[in-house]
Structure 1
Amino acid sequence: SRAARSIALPQRQSTMSGAGAVVVADQNKTAFQKQDTIFLGAKRVLQKKVGKKDLRYVKSVGLGIKTPKEASEMSYVDKKCPFTGNVTIRGRLLSGTVKTTKMDRTIIIRRDYLHYIRKYHRYEKRHKTLPAHCSPCFRVQPGDQVLVGQCRPLSKTVRFNVIKIIKKAVGSTKAFTKF
């Protein structure tokens, strides 16, 4: 049966054996994980000595956002990551509070705002939730303040990508907070 079969996957894949091994990616999926922009053919490894930095594709998203050092140091493969994948940040930049991190590489952001009621000359509290892709280079928890940038549609509902953590949450996240 399908449930009885288990596939043993190696945690890390290297291109060379021995002391000079170069870590390619965390192999925790059934398909081989590799960056599309990097060629892992044997000829390149045999021709010259390849360093760890040569086998990692990292780019800057621009807009004054610094590329996190985790994006270049970690060995994750994420084609939807704005720093190591095929996604460009364009359009709006929004900030909000992380509400849930229960999905795989996707978070829900809550954006609070005040809506003016003309009849009563007062404001009422409102909020919107926004799903956003969160790259493995960011370690976010509920309550963190994040900056997200608009990108092409990544799925049916996701149109934004986390590009910066503004402020980490302090203490308990379930406590009452002032709007």
Structure 2
Amino acid sequence: MIDPSVKTPEKECEDTNCPFHGTLSVRGQLLEGNVVSDKLDKTVVVRMEHAKEIPKYERYERRSSKLHAHNPPCIDAREGDKVKIGECRKLSKQKSFVVLEKLEGD
């Protein structure tokens, strides 16, 4: 079951790996990040930034990580969009997340 705060997309799609119109179940983490690449077929690369504390210097440093996520046709996230992604079963060697909604961007 998808988190109630996630809005259902207005467009319909025939993708079996869509959490809204297919059979893919979403469980585990919900993360937010920015799409840095949409060149792959039905896949986007999402970059997430977080702060890590360095106790010796009593400061924080910015770190980031990139995740590959499935991009259903009904959502169709593009480069520069801020998106929410959810964990699902493994879809390929690197993909185990799916885009749930666009938060900002066109």
The normalised TM-score by structure 1 is 0.55
Q: What do the CA deviations read for 1:86-115 (whole angstroms, capped 9, x no partner)?
A: 200111111100010010000000001111
Query: Residues 66 and 125 (structure 1 numbering): CA distance in 2 closer, same or farther, change over 3 Å?
Result: closer
User: Match of 1:85, as an amino acid?
Assistant: G
Match of 2:75 among 138, 143, 149: 138
Shift of 1:127: 0.3
Match of 1:102 among 15, 22, 39: 39
Where does the alignment leave 5 or more consecutive residues of structure 1 unmatched? 1-60, 170-179
- RMSD of aligned C-alpha atoms? 1.4
Q: Whole-Å Cα distance in 2 between the matches of residues 118 and 67 of structure 1?
A: 42
User: Match of 1:164, as an amino acid?
Assistant: E
Based on CA coordinates, which of the two structures has the bigger radius of gyration? 1
**Which residue of structure 2 aligns with residue 127 of structure 1?**
64
**Which residue of structure 2 aligns with residue 63 of structure 1?**
3
The runs of at least 4 aligned residues of structure 1 exceeding 2 Å deviation read: none
Which is richer in strand?
2
User: Match of 2:64, as an amino acid?
Assistant: H
Shift of 1:67: 1.9
Which is richer in helix?
1
The normalised TM-score by structure 2 is 0.91
Where does the alignment leave 5 or more consecutive residues of structure 2 unmatched? none
Number of aligned pairs?
A: 105
User: Match of 1:138, as an amino acid?
Assistant: I
Shift of 1:141: 1.8
Q: What do the CA deviations read for 1:100-142 (whole angstroms, capped 9, x no partner)?
A: 0010000000001111111111111110001000101113221
Q: What do the CA deviations read for 1:33-88 (whole angstroms, capped 9, x no partner)?
A: xxxxxxxxxxxxxxxxxxxxxxxxxxxx53212321202xxxx4312111122200
Q: Whole-Å Cα distance in 1 between the matches of residues 74 and 31 of structure 2?
A: 19
